[in-house]
Amino acid sequence: MQAIYNSSITDGLTRLYNRKYFYNRVTQHVQRHLPISVLFSDIDNFKKLNDTQGHQKGDEVLKQVAQILKDEVEEYGIAGRYGGEEMVVMVTDPGIKMDAFAERVRKRIESETIVTASIGYSKYKKGLSAEELIKQADEAMYKAKTTGKNKVVKYE
């Protein structure tokens, strides 16, 4: 039963939590008005990697990036695969400086893999829904992607 449950809440390739589980956990924290932050990452030029080096190489890179996110957040929250090459992190420790945390993740991806990542993050503010919080982090990531890639942007 445990194995079936685990496979229902995790992504088969990366072993990160799946989008639905991640969203539900963010929702639980938001409903309790707990101080959380959401980090949204997207691997830069991932389609090109798949097209030039093959999907097997792409899968390998996804697993590497997932492991970095998992390692970095294990004491402070959870990591999930949002879809494709997009991965998300929920940080539940209000003492974590998100700019430094996100930059550390970005640097590790750049130095330990053959790819870079654009990262955005947002902090929960009273009145925000889980959906809005995730959307803000996504918008910040999009800004990172459209203003040069391989950088961290905070939602403002």
Residue positions annotated with a catalytic role: 85
Q: How are strands ordered across the β-sheet holding 117-123?
A: 77-83, 86-91, 37-43, 117-123, 152-154
CA angle 31, 37, 150 (to 5 degrees): 145
Among the residues of 79-129, which ranges form H helices? Answer: 98-112
Q: 141 phi and psi, to 5 degrees?
A: -60, -40
- What is the rounded distance in angstroms from the CA atom of residue 71 to the CA atom of residue 110? 15
State both tokens at 117. 């990542």
DSSP tally for the chain: helices H, then strands E: 6, 5
126 to 76, 112, 130, 141: CA distances (angstroms): 21, 37, 11, 22
